[in-house]
């Protein structure tokens, strides 16, 4: 059997799951007396192919093309299909990455083949390979085998195999063979833009020394800029209690409380927040709590160090103005 491992590079760096998959391939090869090759795809990636060649592989296939510089599912599928036509592997193994989830099923479908994704192991049952994948969040494991003829596709979950068990090449280095592929811009229907980072880490309220938090008392999203102006004047971050984020007036990562962030700033300014326990558990560790609320019976006053019973729409702009003034003088 011929096994081909499809390695993954992203922005000029290895995805380490590639090595884990290569280790898996070596183990399968040992159990089934097969040969392992690996393929490296991209542009200017020859050094990476060299890195794989020192591992115990029969050969490393190097696929380079201008149009493979940035990842596209179309580009990878067209290229890999040609690689398969020349290399004729029986089993293709992938690391189960986001990128692989994107293109590998498509490649398998192009060839009319099935794919077993996200496997955590395999067994060799008298020459027949059985792949193991998790179900019910890991509560059970299902055994899956291929019904049709080769080539077969499978991907391994990250962490399922140990990269440090990779065997080195017995005689130093395997050959690196270039495979030229023909690929035209017309075949690639997607246009990759800049990579973006997840917005999650955009704001870290837990590190903010000053927080201005708004609650239902803010009444309408049009009034939020007033609170933001105050936060800016104080040099603090804006945050909110749950109803505000529920309404989508502020993003969820700015929510303080039992279902949001837990914070302990030096100053917590609570504007129009009633102080339901769900909110209080997220901010009671603040060193100084200042609360402004119309309702003198609002529970927030029980934990506030300073409280103002009053209208936030009078106090917010006045505070902002006073702060700006003291800064300029």
Reading the block at residue 184, the tokens are 């035209």
CB of 283 to other proteins, least distance (A): 14
Sort strands 128-135 and 115-125 into parallel, antiparallel or unpaired: antiparallel
Spatial separation of the C-alpha atoms in residues 134 and 140, rounded to whole Å:
6
The residues, any chain, with a CB within 8 Å of residue 305's CB and separated by 6 or more, are: 288, 289, 290
Tell me how far CA of residue 237 lies from CA of 167, 283, 290, in angstroms: 52, 14, 15
- CB nearer other proteins, residue 102 or residue 321: 102
3-state helix, strand, coil in the chain (%, to 5): 35, 25, 35
In degrees, rounded to 5, the angle at the alpha carbon of residue 245 between the alpha carbons of residues 224 and 198 is 105
Determine if residue 275 is left, alpha or beta; phi over 0 gives left, psi from -120 to 50 gives alpha, anything else beta.
left
SS3 251: coil
| DSSP 8-state code for residue 279 | H
CB of 11 to other proteins, least distance (A): 20
Question: Does residue 295 contact residue 261 with C-beta atoms inside 8 Å?
Answer: no
CB of 259 to other proteins, least distance (A): 6
For binding to other proteins (CB under 8 A), which residues are involved?
Answer: 135-137, 139-140, 142, 219-220, 242, 246, 252, 258-259, 276-278, 281, 297, 299, 302
The residues, any chain, with a CB within 8 Å of residue 147's CB and separated by 6 or more, are: 114
Q: How many residues does the chain have?
A: 329
Spatial separation of the C-alpha atoms in residues 62 and 54, rounded to whole Å:
14
- CB nearer other proteins, residue 5 or residue 100: 100
CB of 255 to other proteins, least distance (A): 8
- CB nearer other proteins, residue 154 or residue 231: 154
CB of 222 to other proteins, least distance (A): 9
């Amino acid at each position: 059997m011929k096994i081909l491992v499809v390695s993954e590079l992203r922005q000029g760096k290895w995805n380490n799951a590639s090595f884990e998959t290569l280790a898996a391939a070596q183990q399968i090869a040992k159990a089934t007396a097969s040969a392992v090759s690996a393929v490296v795809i991209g542009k200017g990636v020859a050094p990476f192919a060299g890195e794989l060649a020192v591992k115990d592989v029969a050969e490393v296939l190097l696929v380079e093309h201008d149009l493979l510089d940035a990842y596209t599912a179309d580009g990878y599928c067209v290229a890999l299909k040609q690689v398969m036509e020349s290399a004729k592997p029986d089993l293709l193994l992938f690391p189960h990455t986001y990128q692989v989830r994107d293109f590998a099923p498509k490649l398998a479908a192009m060839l009319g083949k099935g794919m077993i994704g996200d496997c955590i192991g395999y067994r060799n049952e008298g020459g027949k390979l059985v792949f193991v994948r998790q179900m019910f969040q890991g509560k059970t494991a299902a055994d899956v085998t291929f019904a049709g003829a080769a080539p077969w596709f499978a991907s391994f979950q990250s962490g399922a195999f140990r990269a440090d068990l990779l065997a080195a090449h017995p005689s130093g280095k395997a050959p690196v063979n270039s495979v030229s592929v023909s690929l035209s811009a017309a075949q690639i229907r997607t246009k990759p833009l800049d990579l973006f980072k997840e917005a999650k880490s955009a704001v870290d309220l837990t590190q903010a020394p000053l927080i201005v938090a708004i609650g239902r008392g803010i009444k309408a999203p049009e009034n939020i800029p007033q609170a933001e102006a105050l936060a800016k004047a104080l040099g603090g971050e804006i945050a909110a209690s749950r109803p505000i984020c529920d309404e989508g007036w502020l993003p969820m990562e700015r929510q303080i409380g039992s279902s949001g962030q837990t914070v302990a700033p030096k100053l917590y300014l609570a504007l129009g927040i009633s102080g339901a326990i769900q909110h209080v558990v997220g901010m009671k560790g603040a060193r100084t709590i200042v609360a402004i609320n119309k309702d003198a019976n609002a529970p927030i006053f029980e934990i506030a160090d300073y409280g103002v019973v009053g209208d936030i729409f009078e106090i917010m702009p006045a505070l902002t103005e006073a702060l700006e003034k003291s800064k300029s003088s």
